[in-house]
Structure 1
Amino acid sequence: MAHARFHKLAPERRQAILDAAADEFAEHGFDGASYNRIIEQAGYSKGVAYYYFEGKEDLYATVLEGTVARLVGLVGEWAPPGDAEAFWRELRRSYFALLDFVIADERSARLLRGLSQARLNPKLQAAWQRFEAPMLGWLQRVLADGRAVGAVRTDVPEDLLLAALMGVGQATDLWLLEQWGRAGAPAMRRGAEQVFSLFEDLATQRPPRKPAGPKKR
């Protein structure tokens, strides 16, 4: 995590560092980003930079946390729904609010796409966990509320459903960003409708299965 002294900087100086880092990471990804370029762009010496962060990994994690905080602030607090219809309506609103944010902010979109590096790069496991933990907690609360109103299926273990949705989410996020890169925002929006439908199909409560009858001879 950023050293405590970083948070004691004047807000405009903190933001200058984070903006320079976000630009560099969005343009080049974690592996291609240059800590020296970030420092130069922010107007600091290398020695001073290590006074605020342990290294490039720490700075990258801090930038991602800021991006996630903006997403959380945009979506707002999750309010427990009154029924299944309200649950899916609110979840849809949250999902497409995030989509609009990504379309309107290309730098954040590139940063989010780069999260696949954090998941797969051994150097960035701490950064990935700092991103994943709040997302897992949020999704667990959402699914619990959905089960309470009969919107979310209860015929599979909760941890299995959570793992399945997280896995689908990671894959479809990358797919949507690729759609956007190839064909623009309209294609991304069409793809998002398909993705949300996929989530809904995977998570929706199923009616009880009828027991199989005796086989005919």
Structure 2
Amino acid sequence: MPLPRFDRLPAESRAAILAVARAHFARDGKDAASFNQIIADAHISKTSAYHYFDGKDDLWSAVVADASGRALDVLGPWRPAESAADLWERLRAGSLRLSAHLRDHPDDRAVLAAGGGSGGDGWIADLVADGARIGVIDVVPGIEAATAGVFAAVDRWALDDPSEPDPAGPLLVLLARLWGVPETERPPRHSGAF
């Protein structure tokens, strides 16, 4: 993660450096991207760069964390659902917003596809607690981790194939099956659902 001096930069300066790095990593990949070229294109000196980051891997981690944060901002915090139908609709709407964001920001998609992402554990914990509260999810040991695993698998698939018109369909089907939701109470299937 960035060194403390990076965090003390004005937000605009941090965002500009990360945007340059994100473009390089998205275009060239983590291994092929040149730390020196990123520094030059960001208009910072090599000395300054090493005051901000321990090296290219550190910068890469900061870019992945930034892209993950931007994706979570698109989702927004999980808000309590009023019913099972409302929960399913919120999941579908969030998935579609995230899919649109990644389609509109291909550099974020490329970085997340290559570097994974993290930071959604609190969101998933809130979703599972809410689903349990309204009776959609039977709480059993490991249900939160299993739910996170479903999200990770669908995220990986959606990042690898951004042309899928409805990434929410498979997500909802897999979650309904994992959570043991009776067939009659499952969300309606849309294109892409299996």
Task: Please tell me the TM-score bracket, short chain as reference.
Answer: 0.7 to 0.9
Q: What pairs with 1:68-217 in structure 2 (closer than 5 Å)? A: 68-116=68-116, 131-132=117-118, 134-154=119-139, 156-157=140-141, 159=142, 161-180=143-162, 185=163, 188-206=164-182
Write the distance in 1 (CA, Å) between the matches of 2:138 and 2:28.
41
Deviation at 1:103, TM superposition (A): 1.3
**In structure 1, what is the Cα distance between the partners aligned to 2:156 and 2:6?**
32
* Correspondence for 1:67: 67
TM-score (norm 2): 0.82
Answer yes or no: is the 8 Å Cα contact 1:26–1:111 preserved in 2.
yes
Q: Deviations over 1:19-39 (max 9, x none)?
A: 111011112232222211211
Structure 1 portions without partners, runs of 5+: 117-130, 208-217
Q: Which amino acid aligns with 1:29?
A: G
Residues 5 and 52 of structure 2 are in contact (CA less than 8 Å); yes or no, is this contact kept in structure 1? yes
Aligned sequence identity (%): 33
Between the aligned partners of 1:196 and 1:27, the Cα distance in structure 2 is 32
How well do the aligned residues superpose, as a CA RMSD in angstroms?
Answer: 2.2
**Length, aligned pairs only:** 183
Report the 3-state secondary structure (helix = DSSP H, G, I; strand = E; otherwise coil) of the residue aligned with 2:30: helix
Shift of 1:61: 1.8
SS at match of 2:81: coil
Whether the 8 Å CA contact 2:158–2:167 is kept in 1: the answer is: yes
Is the 8 Å Cα contact of residues 35 and 56 (structure 2) preserved in structure 1? yes
> In 1, distance between residues paired with 2:95 and 2:44?
38
Task: Determine which structure has more spread, i.e. the larger CA radius of gyration.
Answer: 1
TM-score, normalising length from structure 1? 0.74
Rounded Cα–Cα distance in structure 1 between residues aligned with 2:66 and 2:73: 11
After TM superposition, give the deviation of residue 192 of structure 1 in Å: 4.1
